[in-house]
Structure 1
Amino acid sequence: MAEIVVGVDNPGVPVTSPFIIVLTAAEEAVLTARARSGRTEHRDRLRARIVLAAAAGATNAAIAVELRVCVDTARRWRRQFATERLDGLADRPRTGRPRRFTAVQSAAITALACTLPAETGIPLSRWSSTELATEAVTRGIAETISASTVRRALTRAVIKPWQHRSWIFPRDPNFETKAARVLDLYARTWNGAPLGPDDYVISADEKSQLQALRRRHPGRPAGPGRTRQVEFEYRRGGTLAYFAAYDIHHARVMGTIAPKTGIEPFTDLVTHVMSCEPYASARRVFWVVDNGSSHAGQASIDRMNTTWPSATLVHLPIHASWLNQVEIYFSILQRKAISPVDFADLDALAERILAFQDRYNRAATPFDWTFTRRDLRALLDRIGPPEQPSTLTTAA
């Protein structure tokens, strides 16, 4: 129904409001969803309830009483919906406080942040927001500027030079070729032909320098409001190496313990695996390894072929251990069975490693490996060739 108000110029004379709300089915659905949703902003929920009440015939005064808002608020959102529909319930753009620093000043500060401090004679490896603010004033970029203003300006910048991460560029000229054939094996393909049911793929490596550290005092278990506490000081009990072979398609781990890494302990691992079924009678067993000294170079391939004719050693390119699936298992072992380190001696450490291996094998499933040749190509395209340092030549 139309709203009846008392006229100001003619007291006692009722005036009918022109803003009569009639909703379409779609508008009613949207407004009802906004009004009932607990995730909707309070202001949007309130405006939806005002319009729904107006569509039901309530006056602005009644809406104000029901929703505990002033009459002007009810009148405003009734009017804006009547004239602009759902778009009228959105906030208008606000100009906000005028900017104190120009775009040129912000660009100058960003350019300063992109410059290493050492290049300007300042003994710092990188800038902090406070140091940037001080340097901006020193250079006359701004008369005064706070560290928080610098932080906001740099947060909006596309380039963030204060962030860094380490990486190694693939320097093997045949990186893609070597990595791709390993990815093919993971997809059960070799030289363009699918692997058969009696072909197996083993990912192998060693986890070296595992220390048997014994804490000087017992740890404290977690309690209410207290996390588990581990003693900082420890006694060294020596180191050992864990050699593991992971059957990537059957999620089976086979491992051996050795005092240190080397060709001999790796040979023992290969013998341990190739002497048991199904690998002893398999047609082919592919061993994926990195370039560690225990299994590096053509000599390691020749040793493998001579001792085990059905085995093929496949080397990853240099700095590509992240493509070796056994490294995922090593990460799980470290997190679940070793850290935080606290073992009485090397025997206790070895026992824990092999016991976890047995436990893992009882319930393991193959890793959901999704990195393919196409992903490799996209990664190498994104990295691009390494930048070469510029050289200066002088005329004779």
Structure 2
Amino acid sequence: MPVVAARPIAPTAAERKRLKTMAYGHKTEHRLRMRAQIVLHAARGRSNARIAAETGLHLDTVRLWRGRFADGGIADLADRRRSGRPPAFTPLQAAEVTALACRLPAETGVPLSRWTAPELAREAVERGIAAFVSASTVRRWLAQDAIKPWQHRSWIFITDPDFRPRAERVLELYARTFAGVALGTDEYVISADEKTSIQARCRCHPTLAPGQARAMRVNHAYGRGGALAYLAAYDVHRAKVFGRTDARTGIAPFMALVAQVMSQEPYAGAKRVFWIVDNGSSHRGQKAAARLTSAFPNAVMVHTPVHASWLNQVEIYFSIVQRKVVSPNDFTDLAQVGDRLRAFEDRYNATAQPFQWRFTTSDLDDLLARLDRHTADHQEESSAAPAT
């Protein structure tokens, strides 16, 4: 039989440079590295048999990739697209299951609070969408659209008619302005609130420190040692925390916190000190604002909108306290809880930086616009629904 001559290879200077990078690069896949080496050997005029001997590859493999490069250059060194196994499900079936996941189970007559992948697979079979479908297949379909019906988040509609002006006033204070005028160097913004019912749980067995391949272990059983309230005032721009503990919350404990802050400089001699608070019973309404100003004439109370404590920056500090001090709860008594909180305040104030608050009035307008659209769509759906 006649011997087929090897295909001549003559790469350009640019192709030769790319081939060398592929052949000797540390991050190149092994298969691409070997294909590039085949082409480089062929460019030196070597036969297929010699290249196979030097690279340890089969002769047919050398002949294949040498021919591929001769026909299409470097681009043809990549794997060609393969048909693969035919799909077991149609795009329509995947879309129907996804649409089912985007409806509440109760709306379809299923007595569930939320969907899980196995429940969706079962429902798809019962509805005749597919003869059989696994939970992993359903989960893969939903992952393509980032749909997780087994998760849920709580949220609340805005009910405060003065939500925007109240929220705008708080956001402007964070940006160091009030009523359109920049705050002076002798004006301060304090964010205050209470963290209620911090319990002292004495574990029945000592907590075990972490070990090799073992997390810290906290005994499930505990004895109750009472509970206390933690009141904190956070200077938004100076990143300084003032805290105190009390047996309960109320007007008197809150005013004691105010006095603790306002009796020291620079707040005692400040032109104005703005106190941002939520609508809790300790500082609700105009009576609370008047009480604050009566006790400290340079103090101004600013309320967040109703159900908008997330606008109060001290809540971020409380979340840090919950993660780093309170959880897991293992205290011998309430005195130890108070000591730990005060020690953490000193530690926090030594290195704290102001929170990088990025939510602005522009973001507020975007949020309200989205809520308006959502409310309008919901009302349209409700009006279009047939009467039962």
Q: Confirm or deny that 1:390 pairs with 2:385.
A: no
| Equivalence for 1:332 | 320
Q: Which of 354, 368, 373 in structure 2 is aligned with 1:366? A: 354
Q: In the alignment, is the contact (CA less than 8 A) between 1:23 and 1:55 conserved in 2?
A: no
Q: Confirm or deny that 1:23 pairs with 2:16.
A: no
Q: Confirm or deny that 1:319 pairs with 2:307.
A: yes
Q: Which of 148, 151, 156 in structure 2 is aligned with 1:168? A: 156
Matches within 5 A, 1:44-55: 44-55=32-43
> For the residues of structure 2 that align with 1:34 and 1:176, how far apart are their CA atoms?
59
Q: 1:267, CA displacement in angstroms?
A: 0.5
CA 1:162–1:224 in structure 2 vs 1: closer, same or farther (change >3 Å)? closer
Q: In the alignment, is the contact (CA less than 8 A) between 1:321 and 1:327 conserved in 2?
A: yes
Q: Confirm or deny that 1:78 pairs with 2:66.
A: yes
Q: Which of 355, 374, 377 in structure 1 is aligned with 2:343? A: 355
> For the residues of structure 2 that align with 1:63 and 1:373, how far apart are their CA atoms?
69
Q: 1:292, CA displacement in angstroms?
A: 1.4
Q: What is the identity, as a one-letter code, of the residue corresponding to 1:327?
A: E
> For the residues of structure 1 that align with 2:284 and 2:25, how far apart are their CA atoms?
62
Structure 2 residue matching 1:342: 3-state secondary structure: coil
Structure 2 residue matching 1:390: 3-state secondary structure: helix
Q: 1:162, CA displacement in angstroms?
A: 4.3
Which segment drifts farther, 235-244 or 386-395? 386-395
Using structure 2 for the length normalisation, give the TM-score: 0.89
Which segment drifts farther, 340-349 or 124-133? 124-133
Structure 1 residue matching 2:382: 3-state secondary structure: coil
Q: What is the identity, as a one-letter code, of the residue corresponding to 1:76?
A: L
Q: What is the identity, as a one-letter code, of the residue corresponding to 2:8?
A: F
CA 1:149–1:393 in structure 2 vs 1: closer, same or farther (change >3 Å)? closer
| Equivalence for 1:215 | 203
Q: Confirm or deny that 1:9 pairs with 2:2.
A: yes
Using structure 1 for the length normalisation, give the TM-score: 0.87
Q: 1:261, CA displacement in angstroms?
A: 0.7
Q: 1:252, CA displacement in angstroms?
A: 0.8
Q: Which runs of 5+ in 1 are unaligned?
A: 1-7
CA 1:105–1:32 in structure 2 vs 1: closer, same or farther (change >3 Å)? same
Q: In the alignment, is the contact (CA less than 8 A) between 2:8 and 2:42 conserved in 1?
A: no
Which segment drifts farther, 368-377 or 271-280? 368-377
Q: 1:334, CA displacement in angstroms?
A: 2.0
Aligned length: 383
Q: What is the identity, as a one-letter code, of the residue corresponding to 2:124?
A: A
Q: In the alignment, is the contact (CA less than 8 A) between 2:200 and 2:331 conserved in 1?
A: yes
Q: 1:128, CA displacement in angstroms?
A: 3.4
Structure 2 residue matching 1:330: 3-state secondary structure: helix
Structure 2 residue matching 1:213: 3-state secondary structure: strand
Matches within 5 A, 1:10-159: 17-25=6-14, 27-157=15-145
Q: What is the identity, as a one-letter code, of the residue corresponding to 1:390?
A: S
> For the residues of structure 2 that align with 1:70 and 1:141, how far apart are their CA atoms?
48
Q: 1:336, CA displacement in angstroms?
A: 1.8
Q: What is the identity, as a one-letter code, of the residue corresponding to 1:362?
A: A
Which segment drifts farther, 28-37 or 298-307? 28-37
Q: 1:237, CA displacement in angstroms?
A: 0.8
Q: 1:105, CA displacement in angstroms?
A: 2.8
Q: In the alignment, is the contact (CA less than 8 A) between 1:21 and 1:51 conserved in 2?
A: no
> For the residues of structure 1 that align with 2:371 and 2:10, how far apart are their CA atoms?
59
> For the residues of structure 2 that align with 1:245 and 1:160, how far apart are their CA atoms?
38
> For the residues of structure 1 that align with 2:352 and 2:385, how far apart are their CA atoms?
61
Q: 1:165, CA displacement in angstroms?
A: 2.2
> For the residues of structure 2 that align with 1:176 and 1:37, how far apart are their CA atoms?
58
> For the residues of structure 1 that align with 2:89 and 2:273, how far apart are their CA atoms?
67
> For the residues of structure 2 that align with 1:102 and 1:30, how far apart are their CA atoms?
41
Q: 1:285, CA displacement in angstroms?
A: 0.8
Deviations 1:92-139 (A, max 9, x none): 222222223333333333333334333444322233333333333333
Percent of aligned positions with the same letter in both sequences? 56
Q: Confirm or deny that 1:303 pairs with 2:295.
A: no
Matches within 5 A, 1:173-252: 173-252=161-240
Q: What is the identity, as a one-letter code, of the residue corresponding to 1:248?
A: V
| Equivalence for 2:274 | 286
- The alignment yields a C-alpha RMSD, in angstroms, of 2.7
Q: 1:206, CA displacement in angstroms?
A: 0.9
Q: What is the identity, as a one-letter code, of the residue corresponding to 1:136?
A: A
Q: 1:56, CA displacement in angstroms?
A: 4.7
Q: What is the identity, as a one-letter code, of the residue corresponding to 2:172?
A: D
Q: What is the identity, as a one-letter code, of the residue corresponding to 1:9?
A: P
Q: In the alignment, is the contact (CA less than 8 A) between 1:242 and 1:255 conserved in 2?
A: yes
Q: Which runs of 5+ in 2 are unaligned?
A: none
> For the residues of structure 2 that align with 1:308 and 1:52, how far apart are their CA atoms?
84
Q: In the alignment, is the contact (CA less than 8 A) between 2:23 and 2:33 conserved in 1?
A: yes
Q: 1:391, CA displacement in angstroms?
A: 5.4
| Equivalence for 1:3 | none
